[in-house]
Amino acid sequence: MSVYPWLFRTFIRHVDAEQAHVLGLEAVSIAGRIPPVRGLLRATVGHLDPDRGAPAPSWSARQPRPHIGPREVPGRIGLAAGMDKNARAVLGMSALGFAFVEIGTVTPRPQPGNDKPRAWRLMEDHGIRNRMGFNNLGAEAAAAQLRRLRSIPAGRSAIVGANIGKNKTTPEDRADEDYFTCAQALAPWADFVVVNVSSPNTPGLRDLQAVGYLRPILEAARRGCEAAIEHRVPLFVKIAPDLSDEDIIAVADLSREIGLEGIVATNTTIDHDLGEGGMSGKPLFPRALEVVRLVGGHLDDGQTLIATGGVFSAADARAMLDAGADLIEAFTAFVFEGPTWPGQLNRALEQY
């Protein structure tokens, strides 16, 4: 049994949440860059086969092994955007057992994000509140990092998505230009691109989820991908849990109409009384499950639904899959449960 949850609740919780994030991410990044360490992690905590050395069990006929575009995904659980904003820890996260990694959110130009403090743990609720504000090094730096990643076999084997957003200073009526720029920069190195219009921490961003605003943004992101690379890069949109059911259905209908490969549901919620910022973790799970079920009922069979929001256990994950999700992303559970968690959960879902 992992000792990390005890360490987290006894010691790590007393370290500033953002500082702990930076230190932990750097440790994973360093481990991923050292091949023997990376291999050891993969062989122990991160292996996706339930019995090392034995063939992986076949996936059931009811739930064949999932794909993102042409890439076969080796497990159901991936890392949600927000953890590795600048694509520095993809190899380490993959070695820990995440089946895919979504980096970002990446904006065209570097930006520092909102003033600190901007991240808080909700220890009793198993949640996190953040108002980070898309702090990242910009699209050029992320593209360079992904280009280096793809230059080695281990990097080419990793399944990587790029979550893209607009800069805080970009007017809403020019938001499509930012999404075009980011998509063009990152599409050559990403297995899929996710349009983020649902973070609560960039003023006015969530207003862009309205179909009238969203359509030109998604079309611009598609043009950016097509301008950068000949093959089709799967394009997703990430939605907030705070949308009305009617608006959620409208976004799902739009995704079918313009040929998106899928939807990521959901982002953090502002349905709390804790102050500014979005909340993730266990408190989000009931609404996220409702949204996943609603979206799942309005997508075409060929589209992919990635669920995220409060998944901590295999039972949580199975509920999301039963509701219509094809894949699941996590962030907060990884913070609370530690480095052995993604591999354990992916192994628990092997025969789902």
Cα distance between residue 81 and residue 65, in whole Å: 22
Question: What tokens were used for 9?
Answer: 């609740």
Catalytic residue among 29, 94, 198, 199: 199
Does the active-site annotation cover 199? Answer: yes
Catalytic residues: 199
